[in-house]
Every structure is written in structure tokens, then in C-alpha cells.
Chains A and B, each alone.
Chain A
Amino acid sequence: MMKKFISTEDIYKIIAKILKTTPAKIIKTDKLNLIETWDSLAQLDILSALDAKLGNQLSNLNDIASITSVKKLIRIFKKKSLIK
């Protein structure tokens, strides 16, 4: 199966859609838990949506479960060569 990638723009778009806000606000705030609409259920939605976008490649990334900083998330994705 072909490896799927994600762009940083898509990461912000996906998270913004789930948190019912704009990518600009996510970029500015960075820490998702500081956004009013974020909670533990939203975190689950974010993980699931990113995994679906990446064609199930988040399988072994247990280290991202509790990450609420998008910059940190992108750093991990870059290390795993998942960013376009």
C-alpha cells in the first residue's frame, strides 16, 4: 500500500474543524487544551481523524495520545516522515 502523507495546513484544518474554530486560531494558540471547545473527547476525534487521513499510519504512535501542542505534534510527524 502506498504511504500517505499530510501537510501542516491539513493538520491545522482538521483540528480546526473538530474544535469548531479557524486554522489561524489554532496556529496562534498552539496549545489545544487552551481552546474552549477542546476536551478529552475532542482529543479522541483529532487522533482518529489524523489517523484516517494518514491511512492508518498512527498505529504505533502511542506517544501522540496526550499531546495537545500542535507544534509538538508536527515535530513528531516530521520525525516519522509523515509530513508532505
Chain B
Amino acid sequence: MIGSKISGIEYYLPKKKENNIQLKKNNPKWDIDRIFEKTGINNRYISSENETTIDLAEKSIKKLIKKFPKVKIDFLILVTQTSPYRIPTAACILQERLKFSKNIIAFDINLGCSGFIYALRVATAFIESKQAKNGLIVCADTYTKLISKNNAQCRPIFSDAAAATLISVSKQNKIGPFELGTDGSGYNALELPQGKNEVVMNGSKVLTFAMSIVPLNVSILLKKIKSKVNKIDMFIFHQASKFIIDNINRKLSIPQKKTFENLSKVGNTISASIPIALKDACKKNIKNNHKVIIAGYGVGLSWGSALIKWEKIK
């Protein structure tokens, strides 16, 4: 049997940071302590005016492939909703910038916070079907370009970032199974309305969605793998906000020691949040052979979860 594994993860954060003191300066009426209590976020990374999603993606990939000089990249999946181009596909621009082979499979996936899970499913399918041996998933977004400084729902949460993940062929399968889902009836819970330049979020809708769907989705995955919460070593959820993660943990009865949060440091980095959390967690919290469940959920509405049998990464 041919399987897949995660071989490496690297991420890039823009140089400019916005902490809660600066947020308060721009919005003197906001109750920053209360916002922090709910979001758990203290820092957001803001791309500069001339820094695009493609630039962030390129930097994260360069950091990663430096560690794998002999690996031939067979596919490149860019997960983004903030490409500077509507046409062409931004992954094609990355192929040219990075001088990847012209035989590469390169395309974008337009998904938000569930995007890494979906891309992982596509990547493992390429490998399982012997179309590829090694490929990159790069999750990159610059939502802050679409969020004004006084957007109370979104500004305290979203952060710009890119995370590149190398997926490789493996004798033992380390990724999967998956549970994926979609409910377009909630499309307006988080949207960039047509003709507008400002992201709009209905926080209550997003919360009730996350509270209802994620525990159910994870429970179905646990059933599929004939396991229980106490048999899983670590749960890495999309870093939406502390309030949402706490509620998911409460509903699934996951003890705190089995969850990971890096929200305070990096904010909600959309699809990059899971690979960034995996990279940070593997420094201390995730060990070799650990069973890790990852789950992404958000804009769409779209969600997905997967089991990863962890193997040390570069």
C-alpha cells in the first residue's frame, strides 16, 4: 500500500505586527480586555501595502524547500481566498517564481479555514494514485487588506500569514482518514459581499456553526477510526478564537493538556492556522507516533477533519 506523510512545515509571517495596545489606539471605545478574553489574540500580523498573498506563499515555500534540496516537487496546491489575481491561478505564478519544473501540477483551492484539510485530502489522493511522490500545500492569505482598522468583528481576529507543507510518499500511511463537509446555507456568516471591499462576519452564526458542526464532525471521525477522545494524543483545531476552541473542547470533553493554542502569538491565520499550529506544537506537544486529530472549519460554510499519525518533521 502506498501512503502519505507530512515531511516538513515552514511558515512566514509579515514583519508588521499589530498588538492590542495599537488596536485600542485606533479604536478607543473598544473594550480590549474583553476582546482579548474572547479571542485569546494579542498579536496580528499585517502584510504591507505591496506585499501580496503570493509573496507570503513564496517566502514560506523557500524556507521549506531549502531543507529538502534533492526533493522533486510534483504538485503545488495554493489554498487562498486573497489572490491578487482573479485570473490567472496564483499557483501558476508561484511555479514561475520558484522555477519549479513545468511538469508540476499547480492549482489554487478557494477555501478559508477548512482549506488545509481539503488540500491535504487532494494531496494524499495524488500520492495514493501514484501521480506524485512529493508535493507542496501552501496556505496563504492577506485578509487584513479587506478589513478596515475599525471593523469590530474581524480586525481583532484575522492575521496574515503563509504556511508551506511538504507531503511525501510513505510506506506506511500517516494521513487519514478524513471527514469533510459543506453547508452553503451559511454562506453569509463570513463573506466579502459582491462589489464590496470589506469582509463582514456574523460572530454568533460562526459560533453556533462551530459549536454544532465541529464536535459532530470529530465524533464521526473518531467513530470511523474506532477510537475515543482518550485514545487521541492531541487535537489541533483551526485557531479561530479562544472562545470557539474552548466551546469545542467543552462539547467534546477534551482535556486542556490534549489541545494546542497559539492564538495569542499569531492570531487567526485562516487556512494557514493548522499547519502553523502543527509546526509550533511539534516543538513540545506532539511526539513521534502520536495520534493527532486536526479539524478546520469556517467560511463557506465548510469543514473537515483528519487523523495524522505523527512522524518527526524537518
Contacts and interface: CB of A to CB of B under 8 A. Distances in A.
Nearest to B207: A44
A61 to B, nearest CB: 7
B35 interface: yes
Interface SS of chain A: helix
Interface string A52-74: 10001011111011100000000
A51 interface: yes
Contact of A41 (B34, B205, B215, B216): B34
A20 B247 CA distance: 22
Interface in B204-242: 204-205, 207-209, 211-212, 215-216
Interface residues of A, number: 17
Interface of B: 34-35, 38, 152-153, 186, 202-205, 207-209, 211-212, 215-216, 243, 247, 250-251
B215 A59 contact: yes
Contacts of A27: none
A40 B153 contact: yes
A62 B203 contact: no
A48 interface: yes
Given A40-B204, A44-B203, A52-B250, A62 B35 contact: no
Given A48-B247, A62-B205, A66-B202, 14 more contacts: A40-B153, A40-B203, A41-B203, A44-B204, A44-B207, A47-B207, A56-B215, A58-B211, A59-B212, A59-B216, A60-B212, A62-B186, A62-B208, A62-B212
Contacts of B34: 41
A66 B204 contact: yes
Given A41-B34, A59-B215, A64 B208 contact: yes
Interface of A: 40-41, 43-44, 47-48, 51-52, 56, 58-62, 64-66
Nearest to B38: A41
Contact of B204 (A43, A56, A59): A43
Contacts of A47: 204, 207-208, 211
A62 B209 CA distance: 7
B219 to A, nearest CB: 11
Contacts of B251: 51, 56, 59
A64 B209 CA distance: 11
Nearest to A41: B38
A56 B213 CA distance: 12
Nearest to B189: A65
B81 to A, nearest CB: 23
7 closest cross-chain pairs (CB), A and B: A65-B204, A65-B208, A59-B212, A65-B205, A62-B208, A56-B251, A40-B203
Given A52-B250, A65-B205, A66-B204, A59 B38 contact: no
